Amino acid sequence: MSSELKAELNLDKNYQIGKVDERIYGSFIEHLGRAVYGGIYEPGHPKADEHGFRKDVMELVRALRVPIVRYPGGNMVSAYNWEDGVGPKEERPQRLELAWRTIETNQVGTNEFADWARKVGSEVMMAVNLGTRGIDAARNLIEYTNHPGGTYWSDLRRSHGYENPHNIKTWCLGNEMDGPWQVGQKTAYEYGRLASETAKAMRLVDPNIELVACGSSNTDMPTFAEWEATILDHTYEQVDYVSLHQYYGNHENDSANYLAKNMDMDHFIKTVISICDYIKAKHRSKKTLNLSFDEWNVWYHSGEHDKKLEPWTIAPPQLEDHYNFEDALLVGSMLITFLQHADRVKMACLAQLVNVIAPIMTENGGRAWKQTIYYPYLHVSVFGRGVSLQPILSSPKYDSKEFTDVPYIDCAAVLNEEAEELSVFLVNKHLSESISLTADFRSFKEYRVLEHIVLENDDLKAVNTAEQQTVIPHARGDASLKDGTLSVNLSKTSWNVIRLGKRQTFESA
């Protein structure tokens, strides 16, 4: 049945935004709640390997093809002594973890996490403590992880059973240093100077690393924009990326407004790009600074529960948002937003990966399962590798409480020329109507539709549990391609993945 609402799309393989850096599909594991203990690591679990890592969780992470994982924080890194988490486990101290007011056992540290990352096929994005510590601890840590041997810290690593260096190439210079909740909060000037000098020392140890400077904690910070301009004035030639962090929630139960919030993310990205380019011009620099959106997600469901937690316990269930169907739609739109800025957003980390505001949930001693947001993350990570194309979209629009001229349809497209595949990602935000989309695909005449995956549910508040996967995708979409025209009906409030490939490739297979 055709819809009264219609949209048009023009997609041409020559209209390109930029190559997609696969690291935009990164994630984040912090020593927070049950992300580590009870999440990725649970000795004694029936599915734990010989090192205590849960194999069921590793299987779900591998399926996501997560290319890079940020570690160990997050807020906790600003009072973290990395030395506590290396060496014989029986000698490691338990510490008060000040950011989340828990007990940190340090049974997982730098080496264990590097091991886990290798097992799941990911690189490590390591953060250094610029809250209570600084240059010395950072240069010692990178010597420990990256230097081959023959020095105090590298030989200490070797004595801990790691003959070869970890060669961690991506490093965050602190975390959210403008936040009053941060241990060791800094002014922009203080942070800019410290980050610049820390970067200098770290590059002397390993010149091949990439460094991320802390941008504002979020756009609501009173110093936002001025913070970025000031810290980049000090660090522009020393760093490769500036970070962005943003979370969204539906506190007022206004679904139409909630589903439009990726427009705020789009504005945030454009603003930070403009600041980077202003500093580039001011410094007469030839270098273009890129963006690392290394914390993003939906986060609002667990707030009341978290207020009731007793302090100073080990791995309590903190920030365990149980995501519903509309959360998955917004996550899909946020991923589309990254692809629309693939020329400048080169890294992003869904915060976080397991149990803590995460696509994967576990029971201690029990099952692991996929939350609703797992699916758009999976689809874009697996199928969104290649070159991001510029879609020319004409969509009906609506106004919401915070936003005007919100397109009902969000769209991104990625061309994988090597595999001769095209993936189109679409969200229909209309709460009650399907939308009929006609697309000019003349530059893809030789392609055919491989599959049309749809994530839909009549209940926006539907959730997945260990007992029942209520929100799961199906491949019964009706997309068709004929004579260079793609036709598809996008059902109300739906996430869609249309995969196309060259005819001869599949006819000869």
**Do 249 and 321 form a contact (C-beta atoms < 8 A)?**
no
**Residue 324 and residue 429 in one domain:** no
Domain boundary among 357, 383, 409: 383
Instruction: Say yes or no: 141 and 283 in one domain.
Output: yes
Question: Which one, of 413, 422, 410, 414, lies nearest residue 490 by Cα?
Answer: 410
Q: What is the mean pLDDT of each run of 10 residues along the chain (509 residues)?
A: 81 97 98 98 97 98 98 97 98 98 98 98 98 98 98 98 98 98 98 98 98 97 97 98 98 97 98 98 97 98 93 97 98 98 98 98 98 98 98 97 98 96 98 98 94 98 97 97 96 98 60
DSSP 43-60: TT-TTB-TTSBBHHHHHH
What's the confidence (pLDDT) of residue 509?
Answer: 42
Q: Are strands 210-213 and 170-173 parallel, antiparallel or unpaired?
A: parallel
Which positions are catalytic?
A: 176, 295
Question: Cβ contacts of residue 145 below 8 Å, gap of 6+?
Answer: 110, 114, 126, 157, 165, 166, 167, 168
C-alpha torsion angle, residues 458, 332, 469, 471 (rounded to 10): 10
Q: Are residues 438 and 345 in the same domain?
A: no
According to DSSP, the β-strands at 123-128 and 170-173 are parallel
| Residue 370: closest CA among 52, 38, 64 | 64
Give SS3 for 80: coil
| Shared domain check, 305 and 446 | no
CATH assignment of the domain containing 292: 3.20.20.80
Co-location of 419 and 436 in the same domain: yes
Taking the mean position of all CA atoms in its chain, how far away is CA 424? 20
Any bridge partners for residue 347, and if so which?
292
Query: What per-residue confidence (pLDDT) applies to 90?
Result: 97
Tell me, yes or no, whether 208 and 350 share the same domain.
yes
The whole-angstrom separation of Cα 71 and Cα 118 is: 14
Distance CA 354, CA 356 (A): 6
Do residues 331 and 297 both lie within one domain?
yes
Q: Is residue 397 a contact partner of residue 311, using CB atoms and an 8 Å limit?
A: no
Residues facing residue 421 across a β-bridge:
416, 501
Residues 283 and 165 in one domain: yes
User: CA-to-CA distance for 431 and 259, rounded, in angstroms?
Assistant: 10
b/e per residue 176-215 (b: at least 16 CB within 10 A) = bbbbeebbbebebeebbebbbbbbeebbebbeebbbbbbb
Q: What is the β-pairing status of strands 421-428 and 480-482?
A: unpaired
End-to-end CA distance of the chain: 34
Instruction: Verify that 319 and 420 share a domain, yes or no.
Output: no
pLDDT for position 4: 85
Side chain identity at 420, as an amino acid letter?
Answer: E
Q: What is the C-alpha separation between 32 and 48, in angstroms, rounded?
A: 20
The CA distance from 11 to 484, in Å, is 11
Query: Can you give the pLDDT at residue 508?
Result: 42
CATH code of 438's domain: 2.60.40.1180
H-only helix segments in 175-240: 188-205, 226-235
Check residue 404 and report its DSSP letter: S
**Rounded to whole angstroms, how far apart are CA atoms 80 and 204?**
23
Same structural domain, 487 and 443: yes
Q: CA 71, 110, 353 angle in degrees (round to 5)?
A: 30
Domain enclosing residue 443, as ranges: 5-14+388-507
| Last residue in a domain, options 359, 383, 407 | 383
- DSSP β-ladder status, 494-502 and 447-456: antiparallel
Tell whether 479 and 360 lie within a shared domain: no
289 and 401: one domain?
no
> Quick check: bond before 352 cis, omega within 30?
yes
Cβ pair 411, 391 in contact under 8 A: yes
Last residue of a domain, one of 361, 383, 405: 383
**Beta strands of 129-240 (E only): which ranges?**
170-173, 210-213
Q: Which two tokens stand for residue 300?
A: 């609002």
Domain count, the chain: 2
